[in-house]
Structures are given as structure tokens and as C-alpha cells.
Amino acid sequence: MKKIGFLSFGHWSGHPAYKTRTASDTLLQSIDLAVAAEELGLDGAYFRVHHFAAQLASPFPLLSAIGAKTSKIEIGTGVIDMRYENPLYMVEDAGAADLISRGRLQLGISRGSPEQVIDGWRYFGYEPAKGETDAEMGRRKALEFLDKLKGVGFAQPNPYPMFPNPPGLLRLEPHSEGLRERIWWGAASNATAVWAAENGMHLQSSTLKFDESGKPFHIQQAEQIRLYKEAWKKAGHQREARVSVSRSIFALMNDQDRVYFGRDVNGVDKIGMIEADKRAIFGKSYAGEPDQLIKELARDEAIQEADTLLLTIPNTLGVDYNVHVLSSILEHVAPGLGWR
């Protein structure tokens, strides 16, 4: 059994074939899709976060809206770039969104991915400390976010406050109990996966990672997950670790599916440079008749190691088509693999 969710990149464009022509289209359809996904029996609705792009960027209003209109589905991100964040303000936003959803937030954070602009976090007013890289700044902010999520008082109260204060140091409000244990780290390397385990975060591993061995993508990702699990056990955390992997999987059920995704049949991994000095491996897309998908996915070692699978969706094709994409996997593929 696996938890199965969707991951939306949240694109919009004026392209005549798109159902998401504006930011409003994408936001409102994201809410509608999450509601429909819950009705289908999906376990999670997750959203990418990208700045300076015609994509979803400010996750907490969207997560709060989905939380208010659903009751069971997990709601999350994959991932929030911590280089752009004020960790304390983020604690308040995340706490509010989690309380609105009654404790269903599953927040994926990371040091970030390649950007639309050069050092975009500088425009948000952030600079690495002296001798610190932007990646180190992202991880430092992540640790501060985790610390403040605990709800322990740290701020000296004003002796002449507008409203009476409780005794002792003050914490950020609203505080949502348990959210600290539902934070995930998006790791592109084996080392950061181990770091995430040491710091008590669940692991998100996407459809790409740094190429650290030259092996096929799913094998490298499975090795990353095993290192993470070993580090989690060694750290002695008193709760279960969770691991999600993302995949592009399309069951070819009709002619429309074949037009959109037939080219991905017999897909292969790809090698590229995600950053100027970082060679990355990109996992292949899966497309085919359900029986063929079942055979191929059964050989994916990383999916076997994970407890949660996030299906990347073509959000620009609209809510109805994406409901078809997701229901095809749930009904015709997942049972044959023992996921349902």
C-alpha cells in the first residue's frame, strides 16, 4: 500500500491550448482539482513553488483555501525555496494554514532549485552571511524554521503590552501542534538526504537528482532513500520516517492520451546540467497501456522504497482531464502493483 498524491507545477500561459490562461485560472483550478482528488480517494495534493515565473509562488493562501474546502486529503508543497523565506513569518503562515486544514499540512522545503532570475532571493532582501553560500543560507533558514515551529517561547515580552501577555517568553502565533513533525526536505543529493534525516525531516525526492554514480536514475534514487533511512534510524527519532518520490506516469486509455503522451512510451533517463557545475540525472516519464505500466513500475526500485508517490500532472490541460489522468492510475495501475 502506498499513499498516492498529485504534484502540480501550476503553470499558466496565454497559449490557445491551455485551460490555465491566467494566474487566477491556475489558483482556482488547483482548488477544484484538490477537491476532486479527495473525492477520487487520492491521498495528497502538492504544489510546486517558483518565484519570478508564471507558476504558483505563494503557497499559503492556496493551501489554506484547499484546507477549508476539503477534509481528508494531505496538502503540501514540493518545495518551498528557503533562500527566499523569512522563517519566522513562515512559521505564522504555516501555522495558520495547518489550523485551517485541521492538521493536514505536509510542507516540503529545500534550499531551492535553479531560478528564473539570477540570485532572486536578493530581490527579496536576503544575503548569505559572510563566508556562507546561498545553499548554506537556505539550510540555516530551514533549521530556524524548524526550531520556531516547536512553539517554545523565545521573545522577551514588552512590559507595557497592548494586551496582557502570558508569563514567560513569547512564541509565534498561531502555533499548530505537530506541524514540526510534518516537514519534508527536498534532497537532490545523498548528503542532503542524510542531513534531512539527522534533523528529523521527512524526505522528498523528485524526478531529478545530482548524478553521483552514473547508474540509472531509479537506482541512484533508491540508494539515496536507503542512506536516508539508515541515518534516520541512527539519529534515534521516535517516529516513523516518510519518503515520497515523484513520477510522471500516464496510462494510455484513449486516443487523447496517446496524442498527449504517446511520445513518452519507451522513455529513458536524461542527463543535464541543473546548475553550471552540477551534473544531474532526470528520471524518465512512464506512458503506456496499464498492463505495460504495471510491469515497468514494478522494476522501479525507488518507488518500492518510498511510502508516498506523487504523480506530476499537466495542470494546463484542465481539471477534468487531470481527474481522468489520476483516476486512470488509481483504477487501472495501482491495484496491479499492490498500491491499492
| Inside any domain, residue 28 | yes
CA dihedral 58, 60, 61, 62 (to 10 degrees): 80
Q: Is residue 228, in this structure, part of any structural domain at all?
A: yes
Q: Which CATH number characterizes residue 90's domain?
A: 3.20.20.30
Q: What is the pLDDT of residues 314-331, one digit of tens each?
A: 999 999 999 999 999 999
**Sorting pLDDT into bands at 50, 70 and 90, what band is 279?**
confident
> What's the total number of domains in the chain?
1
User: Helix 23-40 and helix 319-332: axis angle, to 10°?
Assistant: 30
Task: Give the least confident one: 39-48, 210-219, 262-271, 325-334.
Answer: 262-271
Q: Is residue 55 part of a domain?
A: yes
pLDDT at residue 112 in the model: 79
Confidence of residue 6 (pLDDT cuts 50, 70, 90): very high
Instruction: Quick: pLDDT tens for 32-65.
Output: 999 999 999 999 999 999 999 999 999 999 999 9
- pLDDT, tens only, 154-196: 999 999 999 999 999 999 999 999 999 999 999 999 999 999 9
| Domain limits for position 277 | 3-159+170-337
Mean pLDDT in residue range 198-223: 94
Model pTM? 0.95
Would residue 165 count as lying in a domain?
no
CB neighbour class for 131 (10 Å; exposed up to 12, middle 13-18, buried from 19):
exposed
Residue, of 222 and 263, whose pLDDT is higher: 222
> Which three three-digit cell numbers place residue 14?
496565454
